[in-house]
Amino acid sequence: MTVQFASPTMGSIQPSDLPSNAAPDLGHRDLREDEYWRGIPAYRELNADQFHDHRFQARNAVTSLAKLRVVVGDLVESSFWSDVEQGLRRSTMSMRVSPYILSLIDWRQPEIDPLRVQFIPLGSRFQPDHPELKLDSLNEQADSPVPGLTHRYRDRALFLALDTCPVYCRFCTRSYAVGLDTDDVEKLHFSAQPRRWDDIFAYIAGHPELEDIVISGGDMYNLRPEHIEHIGRSLLGIDHIRRLRYATKGPAVMPQKLLTDNDWVDSFTRVVELGRKQAKDVVLHTHFNHPNEITQITRAGLDRLAQRGIHMRNQAVLQRGVNDDIETMGALVRRLGYVNVHPYYIFLHDMVQGVEELRTPLQTAVVLEKQVRGMTSGFNMPAFVLDTMGGGGKRHVHSFEYYDSHHGIAVYTSPAVKPGMLFFYFDPIDTLDPAVQAAWAEPESRQSMLAAALEGARSSSLGR
């Protein structure tokens, strides 16, 4: 087989090979700055100062169907509301949406709006769960030496500081703990209490191999300023801890807080500054999934952090109908770079209960990675990863030992985390051939598909 290169001979580059003078696509810089909330009946009378106040945003978060109907009024037809009602009944997450996000939804076509998809379930869109899916599919509880701390990787651990968030995402990986109990799920609770955290700090202090703590939850946006500082000082006070990341969905759903909650921003800044004095890294991890979540107010909030020398990185989740096309993913990556947020990870959607219609096949991530790389600088190029079921940790999507996209089964190894073990990822059933879908419904053929995949992975030369 011969391999062809685009420019086979040096020196024969034609002018047409050079970047063209055609108007470049700068759409990622077009950040909304109109008064978009005035399209929502309940917010029509508000001026910018009223709407862009974090207290207004927090107090008016929409947590029930009844309230949603009042806020959105007659913008949608009544059949839409019964669809939402069905969706909420089946969801493992309770609903909580900020006025900011609600205002950015295009209510002329809410069925396909990428922000609606993430926060408001529709019964008509549900797909049955994959037969191999479990509630805590990442097995976080099995790797928890102390409640609220997951210590899976040798040098880093995940600290669940609290179990509430400024919004609730339908697809939350920690639906076993985060948010209110729902009809289907009674949750573990991790409250924001310094006394509960003491056991966690003691464990970390007693494990010198730990260097890096992810402070998550729940969401640190909901931590009181003094708690942010207490956690930061306690962890930075441990000699072997070199890196902290505070993870929050906040800037994506309530950017106003970065501008109007000075106590909160100042507390976090003091932790960053304390870290800097000790030559330790304290950064903010954000969770933007779609370019529409980043508006002019987001930029103003993030600029404030950047001016204080605070570094930000983003972890996004790849979702069907949200960001699974080249144009949207490319715009997200470039817009993040534009507002000083490093795109760190794009996660293939975890296998979480009740959100099968949001997952994409592995193939989608492989194609997107290929297409997006090169649109911007390498340091602003996210790694496309998946978090393996069963605790193998994060793997680059391209690094599978075996992938059979026809049956929708991929197999990974994770030598540095769980040597010698194999880990599965399964494409959503509804994206497979009808005949294959039928095979998944039969326990016997299911077992033989799994066995064939394991056999394929074991015989792969890559796995050794």
Interface with ligand PLP (CB under 6 A): 150, 152-153, 156-158, 214, 394
Kindly tell me which residue out of 105, 161, 172, 223 binds ligand SF4, with binding defined by CB under 6 A: 172
For the question of residue 169 being annotated catalytic, the response is yes
Cα 444 to chain center, whole Å?
35
Residue 345 found at the interface with ligand SF4 (CB under 6 A) = no
219 phi, psi to nearest 5 deg: -145, 130
Q: How far apart are CA 272 and CA 281, in angstroms?
A: 8
For the question of residue 172 being annotated catalytic, the response is yes
Q: Interface with ligand SF4 by CB under 6 A: which range of 164-172, 203-211, 290-298, 410-418? A: 164-172
Q: Which amino acid is at 232?
A: G
What value, to the nearest 5°, has the Cα angle with vertex 322 and ends 316 and 327? 90
Residue 293 found at the interface with ligand SF4 (CB under 6 A) = no
Pick 247 or 336: Cβ nearer ligand SF4: 247
Q: How far apart are CA 283 and CA 391, in angstroms?
A: 25
Q: How far apart are CA 14 and CA 24, in angstroms?
A: 20
Would you call 140 helix, strand, or coil by DSSP? Answer: helix
Q: Which of 116, 152, 245, 395 is catalytic?
A: 152
For the question of residue 350 being annotated catalytic, the response is yes
Contacting residues for 3 by C-beta, under 8 A, at least 6 apart = none
Tokens of 134: 């479990």
Residue 335 found at the interface with ligand SF4 (CB under 6 A) = no
Residue 329 found at the interface with ligand SF4 (CB under 6 A) = no
Which 5-24 residues touch ligand SF4, going by CB under 6 A? Answer: none
Pick 156 or 446: Cβ nearer ligand PLP: 156
Residue with tokens 């990986």: 173
Pick 28 or 395: Cβ nearer ligand PLP: 395
Q: Which of 83, 113, 169, 320 is catalytic?
A: 169
Kindly tell me which residue out of 28, 54, 245, 249 binds ligand SF4, with binding defined by CB under 6 A: 249
Residue 95 found at the interface with ligand SF4 (CB under 6 A) = no
How big is the site for ligand SF4, counted in residues (CB under 6 A)?
10
Pick 7 or 191: Cβ nearer ligand SF4: 191
Q: How far apart are CA 64 and CA 67, in angstroms?
A: 5
Q: How far apart are CA 250 and CA 264, in angstroms?
A: 12
CB of 152 to ligand PLP, least distance (A): 4
CB of 395 to ligand PLP, least distance (A): 10
CB of 212 to ligand PLP, least distance (A): 7
Give the CB-side neighbour count of residue 148, counting CA atoms within 13 A. 24
Q: Which of 344, 350, 395, 427 is catalytic?
A: 350
Residue 359 found at the interface with ligand SF4 (CB under 6 A) = no
Give the CB-side neighbour count of residue 380, counting CA atoms within 13 A. 18
Q: How far is CA 431 from CA 32, 123, 127, 408, 427, in A?
A: 34, 19, 10, 9, 7
For the question of residue 152 being annotated catalytic, the response is yes
Looking at residue 20, the DSSP 8-state letter turns out to be P
Work out what residue 249 binds among ligand SF4, ligand PLP, none; the CB cut-off runs from 5 to 8 Å by kind: ligand SF4
Q: How far apart are CA 366 and CA 371, in angstroms?
A: 9
Beta-carbon count within 10 A of 281 CB: 15
Which 17-76 residues touch ligand SF4, going by CB under 6 A? Answer: none
Pick 62 or 215: Cβ nearer ligand PLP: 215
Residue 187 found at the interface with ligand SF4 (CB under 6 A) = no
Tokens of 349: 């959607």
Residue with tokens 């976090």: 268
For the question of residue 174 being annotated catalytic, the response is yes
- Chain positions contacting ligand SF4, by CB under 6 A: 165, 168-169, 172, 174, 178, 217-219, 249
Catalytic residues: 152-153, 156, 165, 169, 172, 174, 350, 387, 394
